[in-house]
Structure 1
């Protein structure tokens, strides 16, 4: 029986869905925290020690979450993912994709470099320079978003609307990440989340925010939409730019009628998406991982069992 490691500190609903999908292939999935893994660089040992996989490395690893922590801790977690890949274990998404997306500055840089539409963004250390940038943007009639360089689910994000807000302009561990606020076309607050797997947009939804934050974790409502060719193509290009197996791509339709990529998530949730569409995301993810990296198909598994 093939064994799969699911890296997560909170299996919950998503972990259960993935475990069920792997079981349909005859694979046994086990939850593991990256905080418990080690590099064991001594003769006669597996170089990567994973609880529950002490005798043999997993056949594949699915990254459902990377814990926060100090720089050293996060680097160690990424070292584990990099090492597994170098040892021939498929890692989905791998350490390189996680690095590109967890760092919002690098995400913005790569999107802009690839020619994808993304808001003007500044990443810097100098507090005075950050205030000057904010002042100039406000004077030109633009609002700004201040974000932690590392973060998710809308936590730690502030909107700078007027000069007095500059008193609250704070860094994230000494780094300022400022991005021009994009006003959505039409009425209200919303954006689009497109789920991409292996270069294909498999499902999409509109997230309707109760405020300018559109994250489901912050109370946004979900509404199914069909991803038209322009929206789907933009999401796929964004995921490919960051070299991701799968991604949740956040896209705004601005007041000029243009799509703009806001974020690309390498460990996206999909519970909200499944609540408004008839797509089994976990099944599609597992199909892709096992099919592309281990050469498994449902028909082959059935034949092996019989």
Structure 2
């Protein structure tokens, strides 16, 4: 049986374990963070976790510093290696690549701190308020805010400036993006280059009435399986092809006759199988097996 290493033990680990076991792939957890990792002391062997052999890894660890150690010790090929995770995490880089490929995206400006207020004001010239402000490399809607006018935008930027003033902060950039009101928010799964299903993410009615607008599942939105049309499917597939990422979550926004790619995620959460295409796990298992065959060796964890 093929051994698959996962560096997360959250929802995705729980959901994919049994379906993949049914297809000859045993899933094991390797803790990559919130622990100590031996880096240069080999007296007790090369273990980064249990002394278990793995053939392939499922998505490079989210913490890149720890990931470098785990990657070296496991020495296995990954479904979505470090390059894929880094590419997808850079929201501005993704949008620039997609725009260059002719794919629709929201109007977006990246600001690289430090800049003065005049640069920020010039960046939004021509935008209509409200606008969305978001960190360039955060996930799950963390730090995303809506500015209703220039004063509120500069107030949000003040807080970002405080964070970016800390010398150890690596990413000192943020995005200013057009706000698309009343947009349908979809997370589309692409597996091995092909559409594999989608969910619509939506806040409860009372939350919407209270003025909330960020449809992140981790912030209380529900994810409902939906059937998307050919235009949305093709856009998600072209996004994955442009970024050259085999396994990708593509976030689409649809409103006012527009369909745009908002973000991507190379470490997407897997939802219930009923929300995806019937062959979702067959295709996922095939991708894992082919990734493992590309290396052809088995290493210690």
- What TM-score comes out, normalization by structure 2 length? 0.77
Q: 1:64-89 deviations in whole A, cap 9, x for unaligned?
A: 7514xxxxxx33424644x479x5x2
Instruction: Structure 2: state its 5+ residue gaps.
Output: 165-171, 295-301
Which residue among 124, 128, 136 is the counterpart of 1:141?
A: 128
- TM-superposed deviation, 1:265: 0.4
- TM-superposed deviation, 1:139: 6.2
- In 2, are the aligned partners of 1:138 and 1:163 still within 8 Å (CA)? no
Which residue of structure 1 lines up, in the alignment, with residue 48 of structure 2? 50
CA distance in 1, matches of 2:213, 2:42: 52
Which residue of structure 1 lines up, in the alignment, with residue 248 of structure 2? 247
CA distance in 1, matches of 2:38, 2:87: 23
Matched, 1:179 2:180: no
- Aligned residue pairs total 274
* Counterparts in 2 of 1:234 and 1:19: CA distance versus 1, 3 Å: same
CA distance in 2, matches of 1:5, 1:213: 32
Which residue of structure 1 lines up, in the alignment, with residue 4 of structure 2? 4
State the SS of the aligned residue for 2:184: strand
State the SS of the aligned residue for 1:126: coil
- In 2, are the aligned partners of 1:63 and 1:91 still within 8 Å (CA)? yes
* Counterparts in 2 of 1:238 and 1:181: CA distance versus 1, 3 Å: same
State the SS of the aligned residue for 1:152: coil
Instruction: Structure 1: state its 5+ residue gaps.
Output: 68-73, 296-306
* Counterparts in 2 of 1:158 and 1:115: CA distance versus 1, 3 Å: same
Which residue among 182, 195, 198 is the counterpart of 1:204?
A: 198
- TM-superposed deviation, 1:199: 0.6
State the SS of the aligned residue for 2:146: strand
- In 2, are the aligned partners of 1:189 and 1:212 still within 8 Å (CA)? no
State the SS of the aligned residue for 1:235: helix
- In 2, are the aligned partners of 1:105 and 1:123 still within 8 Å (CA)? no
Which residue of structure 2 lines up, in the alignment, with residue 303 of structure 1? none
State the SS of the aligned residue for 1:164: helix
Compute the RMSD of aligned alpha carbons: 3.2
CA distance in 2, matches of 1:197, 1:84: 27
CA distance in 1, matches of 2:233, 2:279: 18
* Counterparts in 2 of 1:114 and 1:42: CA distance versus 1, 3 Å: farther
- In 2, are the aligned partners of 1:98 and 1:266 still within 8 Å (CA)? yes
Describe how 1:99-118 pairs up with structure 2 within 5 A: 99-118=86-105
Q: 1:253-299 deviations in whole A, cap 9, x for unaligned?
A: 242x222111010111132x65655757556423421255439xxxx
Which residue of structure 1 lines up, in the alignment, with residue 298 of structure 2? none
